[in-house]
Chains A and B, each alone.
Chain A
């Protein structure tokens, strides 16, 4: 089983990194021929950086759009962020001080994350409009994330596993030295689902994470009268 999970994580990491790199390069290479920021928009690059920051850190547009979704999405994403930070302790020795510092918060963040996911999923059943637009994959994605959260919380509060051994396993993976993984059904499910999530990331709507940074309506400065935006393919038309 240890070897299976080791290989699974190597494969998942490769797919995640290469897949995301491919998509990011693809986004970056595709020209944005016209100036289309949603206005009012900042007129300077500094302003754009600030707008993107508000969008990514606070989900500003979603806040304007729908408070319920914003609440659930914020609980899930900030919960997840803290949980990820907390999990860095499995990959660092000695553990970075700020990871150490975040440990107690990360524990509760797991509940926030699960609650957020629960809320988002409930909307897919309860709100007619959102039920209409939901696909099977939308449901499965939430199921996958909820299983990850539930098994994680389960191992923390109900059925402990040998986390020292888990850490030895992951530190070993990083040195290409496969160490034994504790035999624990909760852990197996948790890790398998995380690996699956990593694998589908570059092929799914999880691309919203890199995508938001490339959204022309958000990342362009509002300066079309002062600066000429000309894409490579549009520039060729000028030669005619």
Chain B
């Protein structure tokens, strides 16, 4: 059994000739568990350090917290009540497809909590628990929550197919919030959130190191292109504040897109800056379903924007970060329209109302392309045959542009504007039906590699088809987690890591910087 302590050999499941639904393998991934956060990590976020010695205390706290969440979140309350066990979602989760573990079926994942909900919060479950599948909250149940709520990437694919729109991500978030509250947090996510508060980004890259990295990047790009493309940090009075996932500062292939962002600004002649305070677009507060953390992390962006006096806020290539920016920033920090607290009002006065606030870097680049302000040599990308992976949270939890579905068209439009060879993967694996990369939502940690590899199966199958049929050799994506996850897991499926990259990496390859002969 694969556990953090043993060192299992991780292998990818075999490609299926036809996408048949796997037979159930109860307990297949019950041993795949991520490390638990230590007291120091927990307490830094204001959570209880560890589980109480006395089970009753944990039990009461957990049920109490669950009651509070049920009163605070309509989603949770309705989703607990509305499910009829129809089964529409049962074969939709990539982790179920990859592992066959029945508890990775969305409805079963929800039922881990729904069974407890029924026992403590509904008359039927109080009176006839066994009839309605209700059960007491025991230590075993709590452990099961920890295991399986950390095998969900909050990708929302199940919610597309649910007749009531039940979104397992909401249940997972509630589960993780309760676990944090009773002192049973996940090391990976909570440690990262601690770093954001302390240093400003998920990777713990301090301001001076950031400046150093980016000036090195300027030299590299100068050498490469002969152009003085700038990668400024904390530049007062810049027009645009670019907030991007911190992996974009040095990880491969992320940095290639960062180079692309800078070239777009350079070619369009628009001044811009990163911020050392808000040097992270990612917001792991969402992963753990904690509103306070979500808000605190988002407020850094508002503060940075006010300090720097920027007119526009643009977000780099990142999936869940774009969800938080697009859908939540206005609520959390008044970045958008309609807020009336003093800071948000000040920010709204400062921001240019002609632009969407915040904008996605793809919206930004596509606008410039449409205005004819960017020129490309498309043939520079001719060595690539490209496909595009829709990142789950961009696809199903946000939008780009002015119409529903713009999030699918705009990145593809950019790719087609900068390259000649583009092929889409199978229709049932893209757009709103896209499969998660397998590493999103707080599971991008090495202890969970087993489930990450297996969860990538449906995406890898779709990729395999376009590789075989069309000679695809590049899969573009607009998410830091997708990039990190894919580069790690594609070798298990016989692909090269180098075929993974960003949309702005393609832009970077083809863009003309104005100094061409």
Chain A residues with a Cβ under 8 A of chain B: 23, 26-27, 30-36, 38-43, 55, 59, 61-62, 64-66, 69, 73, 120, 123, 127-130, 132-138, 140, 200, 203-205, 207-208, 211-212, 214-218, 222, 224-231, 233-234, 237-238
Contact = CB atoms under 8 A, between A and B. Distances in A.
A38 to B, nearest CB: 5
A216 B72 CA distance: 13
B170 to A, nearest CB: 7
B399 interface: yes
A213 to B, nearest CB: 9
B83 interface: yes
Nearest to A62: B163
B399 A40 contact: yes
A222 to B, nearest CB: 6
Q: Lowest 10 A-B CB distances belong to which pairs?
A: A65-B161, A211-B82, A40-B404, A65-B88, A135-B133, A217-B165, A228-B338, A218-B165, A62-B163, A130-B87
Contacts of B166: 215, 217
A83 B324 CA distance: 46
Given A31-B72, A217-B75, A225 B336 contact: yes
7 contacts: A62-B88, A69-B86, A129-B102, A132-B105, A208-B84, A215-B164, A228-B339
Contact of A26 (B77, B159, B167, B291): B77
A72 to B, nearest CB: 9
Nearest to A231: B72
B73 A62 contact: no
Interface in B162-178: 162-167, 170
B326 interface: yes
Given A38-B159, A216-B75, A203 B331 contact: no
Given A30-B74, A214-B74, A234 B291 contact: yes
B337 A228 contact: yes
What class of interface size applies to chain B in its complex with A? 35 or more
Nearest to A204: B124
B336 A211 contact: no
Contact of B88 (A69, A138, A216, A226): A69
B94 to A, nearest CB: 15
A128 B22 CA distance: 10
B167 A36 contact: yes
Interface string B318-345: 0000000011101100101111010000
Interface in B388-411: 395-399, 403-405, 407-408
B209 interface: no
B75 A224 contact: no
B181 to A, nearest CB: 16
Contact of B164 (A26, A130, A212, A230): A212
B87 A127 contact: yes
B78 A215 contact: yes
A38 B156 contact: yes
Given A133-B85, A222-B404, 14 more contacts: A30-B77, A31-B74, A38-B397, A39-B396, A39-B404, A61-B165, A65-B161, A69-B87, A120-B86, A203-B122, A211-B78, A214-B78, A217-B159, A227-B338
A59 B432 CA distance: 17
Contact of A208 (B82, B90, B336, B356): B82
B85 A135 contact: yes
Interface centre among A39, A132, A228 (most CB of B within 10 A): A39
Contact of A222 (B73, B81, B92, B399): B399
A59 B163 CA distance: 6
B416 to A, nearest CB: 20
Contact of B23 (A30, A128, A200): A128
A73 B85 CA distance: 12
Contacts of B130: 136
Contacts of B432: 38-40
B160 interface: yes
Interface in B127-146: 130-133
Nearest to B169: A36
A31 B122 CA distance: 20
B74 A216 contact: yes
B61 to A, nearest CB: 20
A64 B161 contact: yes
A137 to B, nearest CB: 5
Interface string B336-364: 11110100000000000000111000000
A129 B399 contact: no
Contact of A137 (B21, B133, B159, B337): B133
B441 to A, nearest CB: 14
A36 B337 contact: no
Nearest to A134: B85
A23 B92 CA distance: 30
A137 B397 contact: no
Nearest to B26: A132
B21 A129 contact: yes
B24 A129 contact: yes
Interface centre among A128, A204, A216, A225 (most CB of B within 10 A): A225
A61 B161 contact: yes
A217 B331 CA distance: 17
Nearest to A228: B338
B397 A39 contact: yes
Nearest to A42: B404
A20 B113 CA distance: 23
A43 B132 CA distance: 38
Contacts of B399: 39-41, 43, 222
B295 interface: yes
